Homo-oligomer: A and B are copies of this chain.
Amino acid sequence: MQTTSDNAFQSHYMPNTPQERAEMLRVLGLDSVEDLFADIPQEYRNPALSIPPPMSELELKAELEALAKTNHDTKSYASFLGAGVYNHFIPSLVSPLINRGEFLTSYTPYQAEASQGTLQVAYEFQTMVCNLMGMEVANDGMYEGASSLAEAALMACRITGRGDICVLDTVSPTYRQVVETYARPQGLQVHVLEARNPHLPEGAACLLAQYPNYFGYLEDLASHKVATHERDALLVVSTDPIATGMFRPPGDYGADIVTGEGQGMGVPMSFGGPYVGLFATRSEYIRQMPGRIVGKTVDTDGKTGYVLTLQTREQHIRRERATSNICTSQALLALAATITLATLGKRGLRQVAELCYHKAHYAASLISRVTGYSLPLKGTFFKEMVVKCPTSPTVINERLLESSIIGGLDISHIMPDCMLLCVTEMNTRQEIEALVGALSEFSR
Q: Which A residues are closer than 8 A to B by beta carbons?
A: 1-2, 12, 57-58, 61-62, 65, 75, 89, 91-92, 96, 99-101, 343, 351, 354-355, 425-426, 428
Assess whether B1 is in contact with A92, with CB atoms less than 8 Å apart: no
B62, B89, B99, B354: which contacts A58 (Cβ < 8 A)?
B89
Assess whether B100 is in contact with A426, with CB atoms less than 8 Å apart: no
Q: What are 18 sample pairs from A and B whose C-beta atoms fall under 8 A apart?
A: A1-B351, A1-B354, A1-B355, A2-B351, A12-B343, A57-B89, A57-B91, A57-B92, A58-B89, A58-B425, A58-B426, A61-B92, A62-B428, A65-B75, A96-B99, A96-B101, A100-B100, A100-B101
Q: Report the Cα distance A100→B12, complex, angstroms.
A: 22
A343 contact set on B, CB distance < 8 A = 12
A425 contact set on B, CB distance < 8 A = 58
A351 contact set on B, CB distance < 8 A = 1-2
Q: Report the Cα distance A75→B68, complex, angstroms.
A: 12
Nearest 9 interchain pairs by C-beta: A58-B89, A96-B99, A57-B92, A57-B91, A1-B351, A65-B75, A100-B100, A58-B425, A58-B426
A57 contact set on B, CB distance < 8 A = 89, 91-92
A426 contact set on B, CB distance < 8 A = 58
Q: Give min CB distance, A432 to chain B, whole Å.
A: 15
Q: Give min CB distance, A19 to chain B, whole Å.
A: 15
Smallest CB gap from A351: residue in B? B1
Q: Give min CB distance, A252 to chain B, whole Å.
A: 25
Q: Give min CB distance, A343 to chain B, whole Å.
A: 8
Q: Report the Cα distance A355→B96, complex, angstroms.
A: 33
Q: Give min CB distance, A322 to chain B, whole Å.
A: 36
Q: Report the Cα distance A75→B69, complex, angstroms.
A: 11
Smallest CB gap from A89: residue in B? B58
Q: Report the Cα distance A62→B96, complex, angstroms.
A: 19
A1 contact set on B, CB distance < 8 A = 351, 354-355
Q: Report the Cα distance A75→B75, complex, angstroms.
A: 15
Q: Give min CB distance, A348 to chain B, whole Å.
A: 9
A75 contact set on B, CB distance < 8 A = 65
Q: Report the Cα distance A75→B91, complex, angstroms.
A: 25
Q: Give min CB distance, A404 to chain B, whole Å.
A: 13
Q: Report the Cα distance A92→B65, complex, angstroms.
A: 13
Q: Give min CB distance, A69 to chain B, whole Å.
A: 9
A65 contact set on B, CB distance < 8 A = 75
Q: A1-B354, A12-B343, A62-B428 are in contact. List 6 more A-B contacts (CB 8 A).
A: A1-B355, A57-B91, A58-B89, A65-B75, A100-B100, A100-B101
A92 contact set on B, CB distance < 8 A = 57, 61
